[in-house]
């Protein structure tokens, strides 16, 4: 049976948090049941913004793979392949070839590019490499002939550029070599951080997979809740509270119902509500944290899994590159 192929990548630029776990990793894990999955560390992409601190990649990449494995990615009989972008040099060759055919306008108009130039002012990303970010991403995807790419909304412009580049290649060289991929939009509601904004390392508001129970308690204690509840006697609305999405993940249904009702009647206080969450979140996260500790203490095992995945990725990438060179007559 030939399963359709899924591919996605993540830049190794920092520690994983609950936003990654519930927004990305759980989705990636589930896709393994249906598709042949390739998941990789986009270390070259990490350099587009972190070129002044390349050591960040080395410091975070193995921990990131340990996080993925502990979330069930790359394990089991239908396991996806884990690999490292820079270990499959064919990505670079295809990136170069696709650069030749990508009109500058597509890159200059890219809304994600414009936004990042604005937001990451301090990082000096007005570089050739950063402008070409979507071209490298296109190479990552089409080299595996991936049908589907699970990504968040922010990545849709990049996916659209990938589709356009694939079509342009096929059109210019008269062969259907590259497959324009489809995005699989990640459904999971994004989790708010401690301060109520989107959970993100750069906002310093994240709960990390690496956090100890004590750190988790402190973070939950400091979480903002529904502003209606200035006093304990003021009723609140759990659906508009930053805390409640965590209960939906970590607390049993009957407790969720009870909290929702009592919050609206102001018969439970936020402090008590947080105590329930502390217990349930710490317990719910424990199995993943145990597996994480296991992998981190056996990095050789992690490296073997990634090496095997990289070998498989190379095989596929080499095959596609053969077809690409043929289409060009090189
Ligand atoms: N740009 C993606 C992100 O920041 C990472 C990425 C690089 C990627 N290459 C990819 C995602 C290919 C999907 C497919 O999240
Ligand atoms: Fe949020 Fe719970 Fe407080 Fe309601 S009781 S506002 S759900 S923290």
Of 31, 46, 137, which is best to mutate to test ligand 1, by the most ligand atoms within 8 angstroms of its C-beta? 137
Q: Which residue has the tokens 């129970």?
A: 213
Give the number of the ligand closest to the Cα of residue 274: 2
Distance 262 CA to ligand 1 centre (A): 42
94 in contact with ligand 2, CB cutoff 6 A: no
Q: pLDDT of 135-171, one tens digit each?
A: 999 999 999 999 999 998 889 999 999 999 999 999 9
Give the number of the ligand closest to the Cα of residue 237: 2
Q: Is 79 exposed, middle or buried (0-12, 13-18, 19+ CB in 10 A)?
A: middle
Distance 189 CA to ligand 2 centre (A): 18
Three-state secondary-structure class, residue 60: helix
270 in contact with ligand 2, CB cutoff 6 A: yes
d(CA 320, CA 177): 8
Give the number of the ligand closest to the Cα of residue 234: 2
CA angle 170, 148, 134 (to 5 degrees): 60
Contacts of 88 (CB under 8 A, 6+ apart): 143, 310, 313, 314, 317
d(CA 315, CA 192): 40
Nearest to 246 by CA among 272, 223, 262: 223
d(CA 31, CA 52): 35
Three-state secondary-structure class, residue 320: helix
| Domain 5-191+299-328 falls under CATH 3.40.50.620 | yes
Nearest to 29 by CA among 62, 63, 78, 65: 78
Report residue 138 as tokens.
């296109």
CA angle 29, 34, 37 (to 5 degrees): 60
d(CA 208, CA 234): 32
Residues whose beta carbon lies within 6 Å of some atom of ligand 1: 7-11, 42, 45, 137, 140-141, 149, 151, 155, 158
The predicted structure's pLDDT at residue 187:
74
For residue 80, pLDDT beyond 90:
yes
For residue 272, the ligand 2 atom closest to its alpha carbon is 5
The predicted structure's pLDDT at residue 245:
96
CA-nearest residue for atom 7, ligand 2, is: 238
CATH architecture under which domain 213-292 falls: Orthogonal Bundle (1.10)
273 in contact with ligand 2, CB cutoff 6 A: yes
Percent of the chain with pLDDT over 70: 99
Report residue 39 as tokens.
């998941």
CA-nearest residue for atom 8, ligand 2, is: 270
Element (H, E) at 27: helix 26-31
The residues spanned by each domain of the chain are: 5-191+299-328, 213-292
Q: pLDDT of 253-308, one tens digit each?
A: 999 999 999 999 999 999 999 999 999 999 999 999 999 999 999 999 999 999 99
For residue 214, pLDDT beyond 80:
yes
* Mean pLDDT score, 22-32: 96
């Amino acid at each position: 049976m030939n399963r359709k192929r899924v591919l996605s990548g993540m830049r190794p630029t920092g520690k994983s948090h609950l936003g990654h776990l519930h927004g990305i990793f759980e989705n990636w894990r589930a896709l393994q049941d249906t598709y042949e999955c390739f998941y990789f560390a986009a270390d070259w992409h990490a350099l587009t913004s972190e070129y002044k601190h390349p050591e960040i990649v080395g410091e975070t990449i193995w921990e990131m793979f340990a996080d993925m494995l502990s979330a069930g990615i790359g394990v089991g009989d239908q396991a996806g392949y884990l690999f490292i972008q820079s270990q499959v040099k064919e990505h670079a060759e295809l990136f170069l070839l696709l650069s030749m055919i990508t009109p500058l306008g597509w890159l200059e108009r890219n809304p994600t590019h414009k936004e990042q130039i604005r937001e990451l002012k301090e990082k000096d990303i007005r570089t050739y490499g950063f402008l070409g970010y979507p071209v490298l991403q296109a190479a990552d995807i089409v080299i595996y002939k991936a049908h589907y790419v699970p990504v968040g909304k922010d990545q849709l412009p990049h996916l659209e550029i990938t589709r356009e580049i694939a079509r342009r290649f096929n059109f210019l060289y008269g062969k259907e070599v590259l497959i324009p991929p489809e995005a699989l939009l990640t459904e999971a509601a994004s989790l708010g951080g401690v301060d109520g904004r989107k959970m993100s390392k750069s906002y310093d508001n994240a709960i990390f997979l690496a956090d100890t129970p004590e750190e988790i308690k402190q973070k939950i204690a400091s979480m903002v809740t529904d502003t209606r509840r200035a006093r304990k006697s003021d009723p609140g609305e759990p659906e508009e509270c930053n805390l409640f999405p965590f209960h939906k993940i970590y607390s049993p249904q009957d407790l969720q119902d009870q909290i929702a009702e009592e919050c609206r009647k102001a018969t439970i206080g936020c402090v008590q509500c947080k105590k329930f969450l502390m217990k349930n979140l710490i317990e719910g996260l424990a199995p993943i944290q145990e597996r994480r500790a296991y992998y981190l203490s056996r990095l050789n095992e992690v490296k073997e899994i990634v090496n095997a995945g990289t070998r498989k990725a190379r095989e596929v990438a080499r095959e596609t590159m053969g077809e690409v060179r043929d289409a060009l007559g090189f």
